[in-house]
Amino acid sequence: QVQLVQSGPEVKRPGASVKVSCKTSGYIFTSNGISWVRQAPGQGLEWVGWISGSDGNTADAERFRGRVLMTIDESTSTAYMELRSLTSDDSATYYCARDKGDFTRDFWGQGTRVTVSS
């Protein structure tokens, strides 16, 4: 069965960076991309970006451009999202999700809570 397991909660200072991992299993990693979506406390879903599982090509939301770095490690079927220059507005739960090929996210990780606080 398809599974996406994310790394644990993080607490960071303003200005720092955070790197969240998403280890996948149950499917051929290179056949699908991975999307990253975040949700601030009590707020809605926000699309952060997408990375291809086959060649590492990426697309990201304009508001994160230059601040987010998405990478993959095919050897471990793991995707990573690094967000730099954190502010309190970046405090949120970050989800990874498998892209089924039509810009649809069909399987989701459990979420990683990132807290930015001084």
Binding site for other proteins (CB under 8 A): 35, 37, 44-47, 50, 57-61, 95, 97, 100, 102-106, 108-111
User: What tokens does 62 get?
Assistant: 């304009």
* Shortest distance, position 80 Cβ to other proteins, whole Å: 18
Q: Quick one: the chain helix, strand, coil %, rounded to 5?
A: 10, 50, 40
Q: Are 116 and 59 in contact (CB under 8 A)?
A: no
Would you say 44 or 118 has its CB closer to other proteins? 44
Distance of alpha carbon 33 from the chain centroid: 11
Smallest gap from residue 118 Cβ to other proteins (A): 26
The residue among 33 and 78 lying less far from other proteins, judged by its C-beta, is 33
CB-nearer residue toward other proteins: 16 or 67: 67
Alpha-carbon span 83 to 80, nearest angstrom: 10
Rounded to a whole number of angstroms, the minimum distance from the CB of residue 62 to other proteins is 8
Give the residue carrying structure tokens 């991309």: 33
